[in-house]
A and B are shown apart, each in its own frame.
Chain A
Amino acid sequence: MSEQAKRPQVSTLAKDQVGGLFATQEPQWLKERRLSAWESYLQAPMPTVKNEDWRSTTVNKLDLGKLYPVKALTKQEAKIQSAKLEASLEKIGEAAAVYMEDYATSTFHIAASKEIAEKKITVLPLAQALAAETTAKDLEKLAALIDAKRGVVQDKFTLMNTALSASGLYVHIPKNTTVTAPVVMALNLPAGAADKAVESSENLAVFPKVIVHVEANSTLKFVSLTTASEASSETAALVNAVVEFHVEAGARVEVAEVTNLTPGTFFVNRVRAYLGRDAQIDFTTAGLGGGQVKSDLETVLEDRGAQAAVKGIVLGAGKEHYAYNTIADHKAPDTTSNIVFRVALKDSSTSIYQGNVVVDKVAQRTDAYQSNKNLLLSRAAKADSIPKLEILADDVKCSHGATVSPVDRDQLFYLMSRGLTRSQSEELIVTGFFQQVLDLIPISGVKDLLAELAASRIEDKM
């Protein structure tokens, strides 16, 4: 029996829902990419649990036939409407630029400080960047670069994004430029069926594409928030993002992405950072809410001296499922990667962490470390850990460690003997568990924001 016949029938996005997207004012090369991606998307099989990458993420609950891909937002709003986001932004502090797509009000918001214009930095909604000649050229060049790189996964979800993306941001930093305050991007999903003003808001599919291009010897701080309006019901929504960082020689990028979605949301996130000679990325990801979060974080160390630090904290609650996959791809000598991933699980939440360190034949003197610690806070919680190493060079230092355990009894005993209740003690221990990662985050505002978000989740009926 062929594989084809055995595969369960899956629904697909209807072309008539998406037809309008192909007719937008876009350069010809992008239209062609979209159309060819659409054809491949229709052919591509839906990932199943038999795919190693998807081994514990149940995709079959996702009914693509019921989803409505969003069109590009055209209405601009001068102020941020969501109080929750407003508060988050306040925590982060001063920003060089803020871009927000709010699907609760179907508006977008963009604001930039003087610094942006003075330093000839570009922060534009992707649709606008594609409409302008110079930025469109850079985007075309970057797209061609990626096409030329073999090994980029083109599965159903990336193809879907390529074909249908009508959301996203383009950031470009010219050579030798330092931006001190972070550039913030926020995506806000609606609270649910309550908002009748928005066409079919209960079953949104958003396909953000974020392209960040940092030229040689520049630095950038970038914060990405993906949230849903509070008190959201279990609405079905899909956020399927593709994020690219092109970090050229000697440049440094500090990134923090925060996922704070509702139980009805299926979040597929593909992040890839390409690092040039001596380029650095310091990447933090936080999984703090979402029905199913499937996130691939790949750092490609393309040239000598590149360094990648990837940190993650995940705090699962309810029936949430997190599948984080970090890939450190060492393609050049003298490259360094350091991955620290901490997961704490409450209720019946589940997590599967997969990590892969790949060291090419030429990547001598690679130094790679990968650590994954899992804290189980409830009997029904479940943690899987698959830290992998694939080493083809010999002069390397690669190691990894992984643990799964409940809250340490000695620590608990100590705190309780000091008069704290059991739950207070547990909260303190979990806070400490994350603090070790939070302490490493270079963007101070994000550190505070994450500490607060984590604390509210820890306290929440623990």
Chain B
Amino acid sequence: MSKVDESTESKTPSRDELALEGIGTDYKYGFRDEEDYVFKSGRGLTKEIVTKISQMKKEPQWMLDFRLKAFDIFMKKPMPTWGNCDLLNDIDFQNIFYYIKPSIKGEKNWEDVPDNIKNTFDRLGIPEAERKFLAGVTAQYESEVVYHSIREDLEQQGVIFLDMDSGLREHEEIVRKHFATVIPAADNKFAALNSAVWSGGSFIWVPEGVKVEIPLQAYFRINAENMGQFERTLIIAEPGSFVHYIEGCTAPVYSSDSLHSAVVELIAKPGAHIRYTTIQNWSRNVYNLVTKRAVAHANAKVEWVDGNLGSKLTMKYPAIYLMGEKAHGEVLSIAFAGEDQHQDAGAKIIHGAPDTTSMIVSKSISKNGGRTSYRGLIKVYPDAKNVKSSVKCDALLLDEKSRSDTYPTMEVDEKEVSIEHEATVSKVGEEQLFYLMSRGLSQDEATAMIVNGFFEPFTKELPLEYAVELNRLIQLEMEGSVG
């Protein structure tokens, strides 16, 4: 980032070429801390490590049993045979650290967080963001949550916002009732892995009728090389409640790979509304293989707002199971793939009840040899009458080295439905460019403007601070990128 700023001051003309380089080179979160940990497991995964994690967390027996069973499933399940198999098969599961505990306990007070970690999050702008507009913050460093806070008024209303480990300790009954009910351990290989070694993540429970007006936030940071981060998030919105949760992710730049494999379960009870926003900006040595799934009961609404900018390979298809009448699901996603990146993202909506509706909007940009894939599923089960679903995927290709794929699937078992899918792939329109340039904009200003407009349906759904930051990021990536 600084690189671009400097060049702007010294000699303006070359700024375009420099900015062309893309996100990787301008990745401002690429710094790393010295490692100073309370506990770091050895490389590789064994039954002993799984047991050790559970013991260190002083978990109840049922959770240990769950972990061990998941471990068996993980060892048995084959790797997926679809998607980017070449990259997937490069993952060396025995070279990964599955559990790193950075400090003794999660702090409620920012001042009490160990200095080195605090500095990291200060540099990432977390406390600042919190002061500005957040109702609660969780900051996870490696495997554990190091800082956590929630506004008092929310606490008084009975909203629970904890890290997952504390959630399990303090609200075991709620956790036990809902945990892994949306994503069972056997769902897929990476869900099994997460189930075996999960640590951290958020646990949110919103009581009936309570509307959390300002967003709750979590921030995930990987620091160590070859780290595996396996956070586990469970959000339960009781009938008629509302919650908006935002997560952001960054990691340092290393030459060898780290693995982030989260499991996120959302349960929106009748009439509840959950919005889940992700700004994924991992460095380009992180595999991001995440299972996210929501269940929406009658009249409930679930929205995934999903931004994928970073990582080496992302495979993430946020899913919504519309299980009650009139439930509504939306997935709004953007993906940006630069050099050596593959964003394999998408959405799945399962219509399991009548009068359910859904909408998917996916926008992707590939440049500098990057590859974006939209992979989606719309499934309508028999008797789910009057289902309406619309899917729209647009992709922009900025140069001839890049690639864009669309793999939508529609499976319809019911007659009384209306399912629509549309997709386009193109480069930046020459007429649009010509129009803007005829108004006096340079070619890259014009391109950046078109790209901003392209992403606008996404950015306008973000809280203002995020939208500004994202626009700035995109601008950085786009300037001078005329392909």
Contacts and interface: CB of A to CB of B under 8 A. Distances in A.
Interface of A: 52, 361, 364, 374, 376-379, 381-406
B408 A388 contact: yes
B415 A398 contact: no
B395 A391 contact: yes
A389 B405 contact: yes
A401 B418 contact: no
Contacts of B418: 403-405
B419 A394 contact: no
A408 to B, nearest CB: 9
28 contacts: A374-B412, A381-B415, A383-B412, A385-B421, A386-B407, A386-B409, A386-B410, A387-B406, A388-B407, A389-B406, A389-B423, A389-B425, A390-B403, A391-B395, A394-B402, A394-B427, A396-B397, A397-B426, A398-B426, A399-B424, A400-B406, A401-B420, A401-B422, A403-B419, A403-B421, A405-B418, A406-B415, A406-B417
Nearest to A371: B422
Interface of B: 82, 382, 395, 397-427, 483
A402 B420 contact: yes
Given A389-B423, A390-B405, A404 B398 contact: no
Nearest to B414: A379
Most buried by A among B382, B414, B415: B415
9 tightest Cβ-Cβ pairs between the two chains A and B: A394-B397, A389-B406, A404-B419, A399-B424, A376-B415, A402-B421, A398-B425, A385-B410, A404-B412
B328 to A, nearest CB: 19
Interface of chain A: mostly helix, strand, loop or mixed: strand
B130 to A, nearest CB: 41
A404 B426 contact: no
Contact of B427 (A383, A386, A395): A395
B372 to A, nearest CB: 10
A374 B382 CA distance: 16
A221 B418 CA distance: 38
A438 B419 CA distance: 24
Contacts of B411: 382, 384
Contact of A384 (B82, B407, B412): B412
B408 A387 contact: yes
Contacts, number: 109
A382 B412 CA distance: 6
A334 to B, nearest CB: 15
Nearest to B392: A401
Given A52-B82, A389-B425, A393-B400, A379 B415 contact: yes
A392 B406 CA distance: 12
Nearest to A370: B423
Given A388-B406, A389-B406, A399 B423 contact: yes
Contacts of A377: 415
A396 B402 CA distance: 12
B405 A405 contact: no
Given A388-B408, A389-B406, A398-B424, A361 B415 contact: no
Given A391-B405, A396-B426, A406-B415, 16 more contacts: A376-B412, A376-B415, A382-B413, A383-B412, A384-B412, A385-B408, A385-B410, A385-B421, A389-B395, A389-B404, A394-B402, A396-B397, A397-B426, A400-B406, A403-B418, A404-B418
A170 B455 CA distance: 53
Nearest to A382: B413
Given A379-B415, A401-B422, A394 B483 contact: yes
Contact of A401 (B399, B402, B412, B421): B421
B419 A405 contact: yes
A9 to B, nearest CB: 21
B427 A396 contact: yes
Contacts of A406: 415-417
Contacts of A398: 424-426
Contacts of B395: 389, 391
Nearest to A55: B409
B138 to A, nearest CB: 39
A57 to B, nearest CB: 14
Given A389-B405, A392-B403, A394-B427, A402 B410 contact: yes
A391 B409 contact: no
A406 B388 CA distance: 12
Contacts of B82: 52
A111 B483 CA distance: 58
A250 to B, nearest CB: 28
A400 B374 CA distance: 13
Given A376-B412, A393-B400, A398-B426, A388 B405 contact: yes
A394 B416 contact: no
Given A391-B403, A394-B427, A399 B422 contact: yes
A376 B382 CA distance: 13
A336 B400 CA distance: 18
Contacts of B408: 385-388, 402
